[in-house]
C-alpha cells in the first residue's frame, strides 16, 4: 500500500514536472533554443507573485492575472531583444545568452531577497494542507491535485492551440521549416516571440505552484531546470503528451526511490532518465539493423 | 597565371608560434622570479585555461555541447583523495587521480556519444549529478561536508607547495594544449570539423564519426579531471557540491564562447578575459556575478563569434594555425582572376 501511495504521489508530482517542462519543450521544439534560464524565469515569476501577495496584499489567485501576462510580455521582449539576435549566430550562442540571463536573474533576486527560503504556503489557506483520504494509507493533497489538473489543462489547451488555430499551425510550420513557412507568408519572428511568451508564462505558473507547494530561493532555478530537462527528454522532444508521460515517469521514479532509501530520490530519477535514454539507444541500434523498428513500422 | 596555393604557416603564425615557445619557457620561471601571490594567481589562471581549451575542443571542434564537464572535474579531485587516503603520496595521487577521473569517460562515452545535440548536453549534466550523488554517499571522503588534503600536504612547506602546484598546472596546461593542437592539425582534426558541421555528410564520405568524437570526449574528460585535481591541490579542501557544481561548465562556456569557439586561440583569450574579470571584481560578491552574467549576454549579442573569432574574420590572422588557408594568386596586371 505504501508503494501504491508513492506511485500516486509520484504521478501527481509528474503533473508539476510536465507543467515546468512544457515551456522548455516548446522553445526547444520551435526555436531549437536550449533555454538555460528556464528555471530562473520560473523562480522569478514566483517571486513576483510573492511580492504582490505579501507586500501588495493581493490574493495569490488575483495576482496570477498580473504575473502571467507580465511574464508573457517579458518572454516576448526576451525573444525580440536577445534570443532572436543570438539565434542568428547559430544554436550555441543562445546557450551563452540564456546562461548569462539566468545568472543575472538569480543574483538580482538574491540582492533583493537574500538567501532565505520563501513560500506561498501561508497565502493559500487550507488548500495547502487539505487532502482527500482515499484509504488509510493513500491521501491526495488538494493542492497536488489542482496542480496536476492545471498541468493537464495547460497541455490540452496548448495541444488545441497548436492543432486547431491558424496561429498554432503557423507555429508548427515554423518549427518544421522556418524558411519555407516564411515563403508561404508566416511571420517567423512573430511566431517565435509568441512561443517565447507562452513558454515564459507557463514557466512562471509552474514557479508559483512550486512556491505554494514547497519553497523557493533565488538559486532554486538550476535545480528545477534539470528536472524540466529530464522530463522533456524522457517524454521525447516536441511531444506535449510525451512531456506529461515524462513528468510522471520522473515523479514516480523519485518517489519510489525515496521509499527505498531517503537519500535516493534524485539519484533514482537520474538513473531512470539514463535508463530511458539507454533503451532508446539500444532500440535504435536494433532498428538500424532492421530489427524491432522495422517490425513496428509494418504494424 | 599562377594557381591558388594551400598554406598553413604564415610569417605571422611562425613568429607567434616561436613567441609562444619562449613564453612557455619564461612561464616556467615564474615561481622564482615573481611573488608568491602572482604564482598563486597564475596557477588559478592555468586551471581556467585548461577548462576553456577542453570545452572548446568538445563544442567547437567535435560539436559536443556538454553541460556536465564538472563530472570529470569533481571525479579527478575525488580519485586523488581516495588514492591519497590509500597511502599514495599526494603528488602522485593528484596525477593518478586525474587519470582515473578521465578514465571514467571511456565507459560513459560508449553510451553518451550515441545521443544527439540537446539530449547529449542534458544527459551529461545528469551524468555529473549521478557522479555527485554517488560521491556524497561515500563517507570516507566526508559525504556532503567533504574533506581536506591538508594533512597529506603537511610534509611540504607552503612555498614548496605553491611552486609545485604551479609547475604541475603549467605542465598539465602545456601538455593538454599541445595534444589538442596536435590533434586538430592531424587527420582526425579535419574529420572532427566535418562531424561538427554535418554528421551525416561526414559519415557518408567515410569519416568514422563515433571514433572521432570519442577521442575528443575522452581527451576533454582527462583535461577536466586534471583541472579538478589541480584545483584540489590549490584549495586543499574537497567539498563535493562545489567541485560538482554546474558553475564550472558555466565558466567553460563563458570562456570558450567569449574567446571564440572553434578557434585554437579563442579559449586562451577567453581564459584571460575571465581571469581578469574575476581578479578585478571577484570580491564584489553578488554584483560581480550580475556583471558576469551581463557580460555573457553582451558578448553573445555584440560579438557572437567571440573575440578571437572576430579578429580572425576581420584580419585573417591565425597565430597558431590548426587549419589551412587558401592563398589566391596576386592579381598583378592581368585583371580579376576568373
Task: Supply the CATH number for residue A146's domain.
Answer: 1.10.3470
Per the CB < 8 Å rule, is A274 touching B305?
no
Q: Are B224 and B98 in contact (CB under 8 A)?
A: no
Task: Choose the most confident range, by mean pLDDT, from A22-36, A81-95, B219-233.
Answer: B219-233
Q: Which residues of A touch B (CB under 8 A)?
A: 28, 34, 36, 82, 85-86, 88-97, 99-104, 106-108, 110-111, 222, 226, 229-230, 233, 237, 263, 266-267, 270-271, 273-274, 277-278, 281, 284
Q: What is the pLDDT of residue A203?
A: 97
Chain A residues with beta carbon closer than 8 angstroms to that of B114: 281, 284
CA distance B115 to A246: 18
- Answer whether residue B331 is part of any domain: no
Residue of B nearest to A270 (CA): B126
Q: How far is B267 from chain A (nearest CA, A)?
A: 14
CA distance B185 to B181: 6
- Answer whether residue B330 is part of any domain: no
User: Domain limits at B290?
Assistant: 5-325
Chain B residues with beta carbon closer than 8 angstroms to that of A106: 289
- Whether A297 has a pLDDT exceeding 60, the answer reads no
Band (A295; pLDDT cuts 50, 70, 90): very low
Q: Which three cell numbers stand for residue B63?
A: 560539436
Q: What is the pLDDT of residue A298?
A: 40
In B180-205, which positions are buried (b, 16+ CB within 10 angstroms) versus exposed (e)?
bbebbbeebbbbbbbbbeebeebeee
Residue of B nearest to A233 (CA): B119
Task: Supply the CATH number for residue B36's domain.
Answer: 1.10.3470
Q: What is the pLDDT of residue B177?
A: 94
Q: Which three cell numbers stand for residue A239?
A: 511531444
Of A93, A101, A277, the CB nearest to B119: A277
Residue of B nearest to A89 (CA): B304
B111-141: per-residue pLDDT in tens? Answer: 899 887 778 888 899 999 999 999 998 888 8
For testing contact with chain A, the best of B109, B116, B118 (most A CBs within 10 A): B118
B5 beta partners: B327
CB contact B118 to A (< 8 Å): yes
Alpha carbons within 13 A on the beta-carbon side of A11: 11
Chain B residues with beta carbon closer than 8 angstroms to that of A233: 118-119, 122-123
Q: What is the pLDDT of residue A34?
A: 86
- Please state at what angle helix A38-54 crosses helix A221-235, rounded to 10 degrees: 130
Average pLDDT, chain A: 87
Please spell the DSSP secondary structure of B291-334, one letter per residue.
Answer: HHHHHHHHHHHH-TTHHHHHHHHHH---SS--S-EEEPPP--SS
Chain B residues with beta carbon closer than 8 angstroms to that of A274: 111, 123, 126-127, 130
- Tell me how far CA of residue B41 lies from CA of A252, B154, B166, B275, in angstroms: 47, 22, 9, 9
Of A97, A111, A229, the CB nearest to B286: A111
Q: What is the pLDDT of residue A289?
A: 55
CA distance A236 to A226: 15
Structural domain count, chain B:
1
Q: 3-class secondary structure for B142-175?
A: CCCCCEECCHHHCCCCHHHHHHHHHHHHHHHHHH
What number is the ipTM of this complex? 0.83
Per the CB < 8 Å rule, is B293 touching A104?
yes
- Whether A181 has a pLDDT exceeding 80, the answer reads yes
Q: What is the pLDDT of residue A299?
A: 37
User: Domain limits at A273?
Assistant: 2-298
Residue of A nearest to B130 (CA): A267
Chain B residues with beta carbon closer than 8 angstroms to that of A284: 114
Q: How far is B22 from chain A (nearest CA, A)?
A: 34
Per the CB < 8 Å rule, is A82 touching B295?
no
Per the CB < 8 Å rule, is B126 touching A270?
yes
Give the lowest-confidence range in A24-33, A248-257, B90-99: A24-33
Chain B residues with beta carbon closer than 8 angstroms to that of A270: 126, 129-130, 133
- Tell me how far CA of residue A152 lies from CA of A42, A73, A225, B270, B315, in angstroms: 18, 23, 20, 45, 55
Per the CB < 8 Å rule, is B253 touching A95?
yes
Q: Are A146 and A127 in contact (CB under 8 A)?
A: yes
Residue of B nearest to A265 (CA): B133
**Per-residue pLDDT of chain B in tens (338 residues, 90 and over written 9):** 567 777 777 777 788 788 888 888 888 888 888 888 889 999 999 999 999 999 999 988 888 889 899 999 999 999 999 999 888 888 999 999 999 999 999 999 988 998 877 788 888 999 999 999 999 988 888 778 888 887 777 778 888 888 899 999 999 999 999 999 999 888 888 888 888 888 888 888 888 888 889 999 999 999 999 999 999 999 888 999 999 998 899 899 899 989 988 888 899 999 999 999 988 888 888 888 898 889 889 888 888 888 888 888 887 777 777 777 666 665 544 443 43
Of B114, B130, B290, the CB nearest to A271: B130
- Answer whether residue B29 is part of any domain: yes
Q: Are A24 and A35 in contact (CB under 8 A)?
A: yes
Chain B residues with beta carbon closer than 8 angstroms to that of A99: 250, 253-254, 293, 296
A132 beta partners: A140
Chain B, 281-310: which have a CB under 8 Å from a chain A CB?
Answer: 286-287, 289-290, 292-297, 299-301, 304-305
Per the CB < 8 Å rule, is B304 touching A229?
no
CA distance A101 to A200: 13
Alpha carbons within 13 A on the beta-carbon side of B271: 23
Of A91, A107, A277, the CB nearest to B293: A107
- Give the count of beta carbons closer than 10 Å to the beta carbon of residue A110: 17
A140 beta partners: A132
Q: How far is A267 from chain B (nearest CA, A)?
A: 6
Q: How far is B24 from chain A (nearest CA, A)?
A: 31
Phi–psi pair at A216, nearest 5 degrees: -135, 160
CB contact B242 to A (< 8 Å): no
Per the CB < 8 Å rule, is B296 touching A96?
yes
- Whether A188 has a pLDDT exceeding 80, the answer reads yes
> How far is it between the farthest Cα atoms of chain A?
63
Of A28, A90, A106, the CB nearest to B118: A28
Q: Could you tell me if residue A238 is left (phi over 0), alpha (psi between -120 and 50 degrees) or otherwise beta?
A: left
Chain A residues with beta carbon closer than 8 angstroms to that of B119: 233, 237, 277
In B237-247, which positions are buried (b, 16+ CB within 10 angstroms) versus exposed (e)?
ebbbebbbbbe
Amino acid at each position: 500500500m505504501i508503494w501504491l501511495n508513492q506511485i500516486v504521489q509520484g504521478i501527481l508530482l509528474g503533473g508539476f514536472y510536465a507543467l515546468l517542462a512544457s515551456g522548455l519543450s516548446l522553445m526547444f521544439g520551435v526555436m531549437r533554443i536550449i533555454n538555460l534560464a528556464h528555471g530562473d524565469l520560473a523562480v522569478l515569476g514566483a517571486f513576483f507573485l510573492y511580492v504582490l501577495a505579501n507586500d501588495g496584499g493581493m490574493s495569490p489567485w488575483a495576482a496570477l492575472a498580473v504575473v502571467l501576462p507580465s511574464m508573457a510580455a517579458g518572454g516576448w521582449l526576451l525573444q525580440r531583444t536577445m534570443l532572436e539576435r543570438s539565434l542568428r549566430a547559430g544554436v550555441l550562442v543562445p546557450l551563452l545568452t540564456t546562461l548569462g540571463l539566468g545568472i543575472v536573474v538569480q543574483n538580482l533576486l538574491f540582492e533583493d531577497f537574500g538567501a532565505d527560503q520563501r513560500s506561498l504556503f501561508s497565502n493559500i489557506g487550507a488548500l495547502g494542507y487539505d487532502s482527500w483520504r482515499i484509504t488509510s494509507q493513500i491521501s491526495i493533497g488538494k493542492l497536488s491535485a489542482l496542480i496536476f489538473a492545471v498541468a493537464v489543462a495547460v497541455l490540452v489547451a496548448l495541444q488545441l492551440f497548436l492543432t486547431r488555430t491558424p496561429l498554432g499551425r503557423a507555429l508548427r510550420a515554423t518549427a518544421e521549416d522556418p524558411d519555407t513557412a516564411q515563403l508561404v507568408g508566416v511571420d517567423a519572428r512573430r511566431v517565435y516571440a509568441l512561443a517565447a511568451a507562452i513558454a515564459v508564462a507557463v514557466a512562471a505558473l509552474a514557479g508559483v505552484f512550486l512556491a505554494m507547494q514547497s519553497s523557493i530561493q533565488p538559486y532554486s532555478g538550476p535545480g528545477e531546470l534539470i528536472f524540466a530537462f529530464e522530463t522533456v527528454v524522457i517524454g521525447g522532444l516536441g511531444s506535449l503528451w510525451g512531456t506529461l508521460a515524462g513528468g510522471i515517469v520522473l515523479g514516480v521514479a523519485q518517489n519510489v526511490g525515496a521509499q527505498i532509501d531517503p537519500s535516493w530520490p534524485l539519484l533514482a530519477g537520474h538513473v531512470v532518465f539514463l535508463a530511458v535514454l539507454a533503451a532508446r539507444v539500444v532500440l535504435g541500434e536494433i532498428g538500424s539493423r532492421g530489427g524491432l523498428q522495422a517490425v513496428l513500422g509494418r504494424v | 597565371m599562377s594557381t591558388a596555393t594551400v598554406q598553413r604557416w604564415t610569417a605571422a603564425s611562425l613568429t607567434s608560434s616561436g613567441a609562444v615557445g619562449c613564453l612557455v619557457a619564461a612561464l616556467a620561471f615564474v615561481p622564482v622570479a615573481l611573488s608568491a601571490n602572482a604564482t598563486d594567481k597564475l596557477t588559478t589562471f592555468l586551471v581556467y585555461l585548461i577548462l576553456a581549451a577542453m570545452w572548446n575542443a568538445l563544442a567547437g571542434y567535435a560539436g559536443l555541447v556538454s553541460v556536465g564537464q564538472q563530472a570529470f572535474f569533481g571525479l579527478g579531485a575525488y580519485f586523488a583523495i581516495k588514492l591519497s587516503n590509500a597511502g599514495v603520496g599526494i603528488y602522485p595521487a593528484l596525477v593518478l587521480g586525474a587519470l582515473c577521473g578521465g578514465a571514467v569517460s571511456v565507459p560513459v562515452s560508449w553510451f553518451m556519444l550515441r545521443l544527439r545535440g540537446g539530449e547529449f548536453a542534458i544527459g551529461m549534466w545528469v551524468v555529473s549529478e549521478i557522479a555527485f550523488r554517488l560521491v556524497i554517499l561515500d563517507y570516507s571522503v566526508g559525504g556532503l561536508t567533504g574533506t581536506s588534503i591538508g594533512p597529506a600536504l603537511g610534509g611540504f612547506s607552503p612555498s614548496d607547495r605553491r611552486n609545485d602546484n604551479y609547475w604541475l598546472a603549467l605542465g598539465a596546461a602545456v601538455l593538454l594544449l599541445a595534444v589538442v593542437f596536435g590533434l586538430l592539425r592531424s587527420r582526425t582534426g579535419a574529420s572532427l570539423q566535418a562531424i561538427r558541421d554535418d554528421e551525416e555528410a561526414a559519415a557518408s564520405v567515410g569519416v568514422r564519426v563515433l571514433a572521432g568524437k570519442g577521442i575528443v570526449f575522452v581527451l576533454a574528460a582527462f583535461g577536466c579531471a586534471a583541472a579538478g585535481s589541480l584545483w584540489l591541490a590549490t584549495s586543499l579542501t574537497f567539498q563535493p557540491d562545489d567541485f560538482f557544481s554546474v558553475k564550472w561548465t558555466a565558466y567553460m562556456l563563458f570562456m570558450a564562447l567569449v574567446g571564440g569557439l572553434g578557434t585554437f586561440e579563442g579559449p586562451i583569450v577567453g581564459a584571460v578575459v575571465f581571469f581578469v574579470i574575476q581578479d578585478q571584481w571577484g570580491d564584489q560578491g553578488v554584483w560581480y556575478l550580475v556583471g558576469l552574467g551581463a557580460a555573457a549576454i553582451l558578448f553573445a549579442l555584440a560579438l557572437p563569434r567571440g573575440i578571437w573569432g572576430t579578429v580572425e574574420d576581420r584580419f585573417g590572422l591565425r597565430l597558431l594555425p590548426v587549419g589551412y588557408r587558401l592563398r589566391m594568386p596576386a592579381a598583378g596586371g592581368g585583371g580579376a582572376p576568373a
